[in-house]
Amino acid sequence: MIIRVVLTILLSLTLLEAALAGFLPRAFEADFVQEKRSKLSKQKVKTNLAIKYEYPSNFYLKEQEENTLYICNAEKVWVYNPPFMEGEKGFLRTGASNKYCFSKIFDSLKKGLTDNPLYKVKKLKGNAYSIHFEAKAKKQLGLDKMQISFRGKESLFKNVKQMKLFYTGEKYPLLLTPKNLKVMNKFPKKTFKFNVPKNTEIQKMK
């Protein structure tokens, strides 16, 4: 689930940078509310996410409810699940950034809100856009389409109201609502590195 959350956030931020052409800050931190309807109960499940981002390829995400961490820089990715109970081992997955940070995919999405080999763009009612992915991008991202809506008439990053992602084969979209955005010049390098705690089981992603 955490990989999907990261893909969701990274894709959203990159598409916003493409859509807003310079309005997205180089570095920022923000909270997001993620909302997904359960397949079984049909109830909406909300998750609070804290993120830090610095272009290019530097990303920090914390899933607040479970304290799950995802950290990515230009070289490496760490996905850490803390111990469920005191005395148990934490679990860490590591992998190469060029394979698991998906930076190449997101770098290629800086083409803006115009049709290109990766996706087609459609203007919706009000201040909103729909992005429909082509076959190759669908396979890589697992997404059929994405919608971005803005408050008011200006398509500015600070005015983003909601991001809606439609995953392939899933009936209900995943919703993201940003809040508490703070623009930064840059973060300390240690922000995007992970120090492995003692008593941690480590597994390499294949």
Nearest to 148 by CA among 166, 169, 134: 166
Tokens describing residue 72: 């990515």
DSSP letter for 57, please.
T
DSSP letter for 41, please: T
Per-residue pLDDT reduced to its tens digit, 100-150:
775 444 444 455 567 877 788 899 998 898 989 889 878 767 789 989 898
pLDDT per position as a tens digit, 144-172: 998 989 888 876 667 788 889 898 888 88
* Greater model confidence, 26 or 168: 168
Question: pLDDT of 49-86, one tens digit each?
Answer: 898 888 778 889 898 888 899 998 989 999 999 998 88
Confidence at residue 180, expressed as pLDDT on a 0 to 100 scale: 85
What SS3 state is found at 31?
A: strand
- The pLDDT value recorded for residue 56 is 79
Q: Name the token pair of 55.
A: 């272009």
